Structure 1
């Protein structure tokens, strides 16, 4: 099954203390730094043409559950990966066993991807559908991680461009 990635402004997470995010969006995250890296396969800030295939690399300090969400330039939110178990270390999505690909699609512009990590399996289903402004997007992702202690959650962000 092929999943089309409606990569607009791909976005990712929030949590408990302030971090530096490349387009600094005032995101907060845990001080645990459980996600040590997230980036597109061509590198952060790289450019992809519509129709090209994208891979996302995520590196974590601990095993846990990862959700990847995006926010396109029009403000539409998407869940790319939901509650995927990842071991400590580096995982590239889609994984070889996944039955989908990330094929870059319109709209064109800055794309943000938000990685949301928890050490334990999430007890609630993250629902991202609809249109978001930055404040509402941050509120939704923050609400998702609030049940977890600061040392058991992390959110980080990366970006790229679609031309």
Structure 2
């Protein structure tokens, strides 16, 4: 899932992938800790959005902590959507009013991947991945940067949608 971040309003250039939101298998940094129980776009995983439409994400966590949302667009551009947001246990809808953002879908068209990285402690700036990545290098970079966090104190969940 890939997106482009615009300041003020966040524009997502999203594309799809086949990673299941119900399983963290193969997702970099994922653990069996189960700290994140769900991550879905508001229309559901694998749904379609047209350029210009707004998208929200429902994130459910089992405990309080901090969440960083990253996107990866079809062209390999990774952007930070939310940085180290404090969340309580339960479901949080992003963007929140206090985030001062709107996520509007923007080109490129295709599969947009979005990952939630959850940590029980405030994340360091190195979890804020922006730049150009292949799917493999994005995974490896996230995995490497999560190495400083105890396995029981971190979790990663991914979802996707299509940009039409």
Please give the TM-score of this superposition, normalised by the length of structure 2. Answer: 0.86
Contact 2:39 2:159 in 1 (8 A): yes
Contact 1:65 1:117 in 2 (8 A): yes
Give the deviation of 1:82 after TM superposition. 0.6
Contact 2:68 2:128 in 1 (8 A): no
Partner of 2:124: 123
Q: What CA distance in whole angstroms lies between the structure 2 residues aligned with 1:131 and 1:85?
A: 27
Contact 1:6 1:105 in 2 (8 A): yes
Partner of 2:4: none
Q: 2:8 aligns with which of 2, 12, 15?
A: 2
Q: What is the correspondence of 1:83-98 to structure 2 with a 5 Å cutoff?
A: 83-98=84-99
CA spacing shift, 1:115–1:126, aligned 2, 3 Å: same
RMSD over aligned CA atoms reads 2.2
- Does residue 55 in structure 1 map to residue 56 in structure 2? yes
Q: Any idea what the Cα deviations from partners look like across 1:71-93, whole Å, max 9, x if unmatched?
A: 00000110000100000000000
Q: What CA distance in whole angstroms lies between the structure 2 residues aligned with 1:49 and 1:25?
A: 29
Partner of 2:19: 21
Q: Which has the larger share of helix?
A: 2
Partner of 2:32: 31
Give the deviation of 1:21 after TM superposition. 3.2
Q: Which SS does the other structure have where 1:22 is aligned? A: coil
Q: What CA distance in whole angstroms lies between the structure 1 residues aligned with 2:104 and 2:8?
A: 9
Contact 1:39 1:158 in 2 (8 A): yes
Q: What CA distance in whole angstroms lies between the structure 1 residues aligned with 2:95 and 2:120?
A: 20
Give the deviation of 1:50 after TM superposition. 0.4
- Unaligned 5+ segments in structure 2 are 1-6
Q: Any idea what the Cα deviations from partners look like across 1:73-130, whole Å, max 9, x if unmatched?
A: 0001100001000000000001122211001100001111010000011234434222
Q: Which SS does the other structure have where 1:68 is aligned? A: strand
Give the deviation of 1:145 after TM superposition. 1.4
